[in-house]
């Protein structure tokens, strides 16, 4: 694969805690990942994104790192990681790993030293501030997980900043020593052979040095979490982040065929995504929550995603699901209807950009039901409004329909419960059926992998009836027309002269009069013989 292998690639996200438990403790681990890598390769993906497996107190299940250079014993050892990396490469898979650099655990040795006094060697490695005269926090910033972004520390007699849990203090990237230390962490894993990084909340690295208040956000009713009361203009997306990314890109570029994808969360999802990839000294690609927050998947939503990058110099990434949002068959589909699930998977895999597929999406898994007393995620508990929150997307993968834990573990008690509704959608059940969502995903994956136009081609919207999304993908003389009915209603459009179908979805059919008949949630990918129809 070339140095820009990530362009147009499909990368499969593995959340290790819930992928496969090899030792019967009810928690997934790296040997479990190793055991199932052949399955991942069989999907036809190009690489794997491995969510955090580093040493951690697990207050945020690995996104609170206490040692960036070691594997938490819950998941295995560095030797286990090396075996996963070697096996992935043997199977032709690239492997990128999560890096959580905005913050650490409050158990990290860096924080323990920083908190010990105001004059130690790492005193400025975290964001410390004096209280106001009345003892209140230095400003009005609110954390993403609720409550003030500041926690008082009795020993230093100062507040420290945390954009998430109080156990996740923010690193101070204004300190050159912090930047150097993080670059050393990156170098450690690049030297070990990883193919790149997924950079967690990468636009959160810097904060407003003057600690000015955030402005108030407008809302029609009180939001679920206090952080939504304000516009986060001062505690994220500061311009200095781009200068650090230039340093990181310079380091990464010294290693052949490496890449960085950034996670972007901000008011202007698409604009910030473009800003962070606009020039060769920034990220290789970035994805935002633009599609991850969609609940009504209209043609207009996907058209906006395509149009926003039509003239952009960077390269986008897209996903319908990950470990932080409700699973897309429940969030975006009517009762998880299989035809609509397949339709949205097909749209995703035809988009221009790098595609991220979350574990279980290829099975069409709906959001799991997790009883309140079994919730583990602190955000799901804090924001509880009667649903399972992020835990509903993190339950164990069902490998088999039978057994106490559906083939995920030999233990009947798993860290999150297996939803009974997932059992009929287990891997073994779907592999036995050519009409399953899994079989469909493999077919569309093979189509994308075999088509330069779908992987790398330009994207241009095509005029179509209401409720239908149509766009061309073209490169080097190959032009494909992708058409999808997304509204759940019968539709039709004129088939271009000389077009030949290379894939159809649902009961899509060509009528004798030349019309393309599109029943609900159907679609087609056509090879065009004539001139471009783009508008």
Give me the active site residues, please: 200, 263
Query: 428 to each of 362, 410, 431, 432, how far by Cα in Å?
Result: 13, 17, 5, 6
What's the rounded Cα separation, in Å, for the pair 142 and 392?
Answer: 25
Listed residue (332, 347, 248, 251) closest to 294, CA to CA: 332
| Residue 393 burial (C-beta neighbours within 10 Å; 0-12, 13-18, 19+) | buried
Burial 456-487 (b: 16+ CB within 10 A, else e): bbebbbbebeebbbbbbbbbeeebbbbbbbbb
- List beta partners, residue 261: 198, 285
Calculate ∠ Cα 326-327-329, nearest 5°: 125
What's the rounded Cα separation, in Å, for the pair 22 and 19?
Answer: 10
| Eight-state DSSP code of residue 364 | T
Q: Which helix (H) or strand (E) holds 47?
A: strand 47-50
Coil vs helix vs strand at 238: coil
What's the rounded Cα separation, in Å, for the pair 508 and 342?
Answer: 13
Q: Which helix (H) or strand (E) holds 469?
A: strand 468-475
Interhelix angle for 30-42 vs 78-90, to 10°?
A: 10
Edge-to-edge strand list for the sheet holding 285-288: 285-288, 259-264, 196-199, 94-99, 47-50, 10-14, 354-358, 317-319
Q: In sequence order, what are the residues at sequence separation of 6 or more whose Cβ sits closer than 8 angstroms to the Cβ of residue 440? A: 342, 345
Token readout for 292 is 């991850």
What's the rounded Cα separation, in Å, for the pair 186 and 250?
Answer: 12
Handedness of CA 135, 57, 112, 183 (dihedral sign): negative
**HSE (side-chain half, CA atoms, 13 Å) at 248:** 31
Q: How far, rounded to the nearest angstrom, does the alpha carbon of residue 524 sit from its chain's CA centroid?
A: 27
């Amino acid at each position: 694969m070339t140095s820009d292998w990530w362009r147009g690639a499909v990368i499969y996200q593995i959340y290790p805690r819930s992928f496969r438990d090899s030792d019967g403790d009810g928690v997934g681990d790296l040997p479990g990942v190793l055991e199932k890598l052949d399955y991942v390769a069989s999907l036809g993906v190009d690489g794997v994104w491995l969510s955090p497996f580093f040493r951690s107190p697990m207050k945020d299940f690995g996104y609170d790192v206490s040692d960036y250079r070691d594997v938490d014993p819950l998941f295995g050892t560095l030797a286990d990681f090396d075996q996963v990396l070697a096996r992935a490469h043997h199977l032709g898979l690239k492997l990128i790993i999560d890096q959580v650099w905005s913050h650490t655990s409050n158990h990290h040795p860096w924080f323990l030293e920083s908190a010990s006094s105001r004059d130690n060697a790492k005193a400025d490695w975290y964001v410390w501030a004096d209280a106001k005269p009345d003892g209140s926090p230095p400003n009005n910033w609110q954390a993403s997980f609720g409550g003030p972004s500041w926690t008082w520390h009795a020993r230093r007699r100062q507040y420290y900043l945390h954009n998430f849990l109080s156990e996740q203090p923010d690193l101070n990237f204004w300190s050159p020593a912090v930047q150097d230390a993080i670059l050393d962490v990156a170098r450690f894993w690049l030297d070990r052979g990883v193919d790149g990084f997924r950079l967690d909340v990468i636009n959160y690295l810097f904060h407003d040095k003057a600690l000015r208040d955030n402005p108030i956000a407008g809302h029609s009713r009180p939001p679920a979490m206090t952080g939504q009361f304000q516009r986060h203009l001062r505690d994220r997306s500061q311009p200095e982040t781009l200068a650090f990314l230039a340093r990181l890109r310079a380091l990464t570029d010294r290693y052949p065929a490496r890449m960085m994808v950034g996670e972007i969360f901000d008011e202007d999802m698409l604009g910030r995504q473009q800003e962070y990839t606009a020039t060769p000294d920034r990220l290789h690609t970035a994805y935002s929550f633009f599609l991850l927050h969609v609940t009504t998947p209209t043609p207009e939503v996907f058209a906006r995603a395509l149009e926003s990058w039509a003239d952009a110099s960077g390269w986008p990434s897209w996903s319908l699901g990950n470990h932080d949002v409700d699973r897309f068959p429940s969030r975006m589909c009517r009762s998880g209807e299989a035809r609509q699930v397949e339709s949205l998977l097909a749209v995703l895999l035809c988009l221009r950009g790098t595609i991220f597929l979350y574990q279980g999406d290829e099975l069409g898994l709906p959001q799991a039901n997790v009883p309140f007393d079994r919730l583990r995620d602190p955000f799901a508990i804090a924001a509880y409004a009667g649903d399972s929150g992020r835990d509903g997307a993190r339950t164990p993968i069902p490998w088999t329909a039978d057994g106490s834990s559906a083939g995920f573990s030999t233990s009947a008690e798993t860290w999150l419960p297996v939803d009974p509704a997932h059992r009929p959608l287990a891997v073994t059940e779907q592999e036995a059926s050519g009409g399953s969502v899994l079989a469909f995903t493999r077919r569309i994956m093979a189509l994308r992998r075999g088509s330069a136009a779908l992987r790398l081609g330009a994207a241009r919207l095509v005029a179509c009836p209401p409720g239908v999304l149509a766009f061309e993908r073209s490169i080097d003389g190959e032009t494909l027309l992708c058409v999808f009915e997304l509204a759940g209603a019968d539709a039709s459009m004129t088939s271009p002269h000389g077009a030949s179908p290379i894939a159809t979805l649902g009961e899509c059919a060509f009528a004798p009069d030349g019309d393309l008949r599109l029943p609900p949630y159907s679609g087609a990918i056509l090879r065009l013989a004539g001139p471009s129809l783009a508008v």
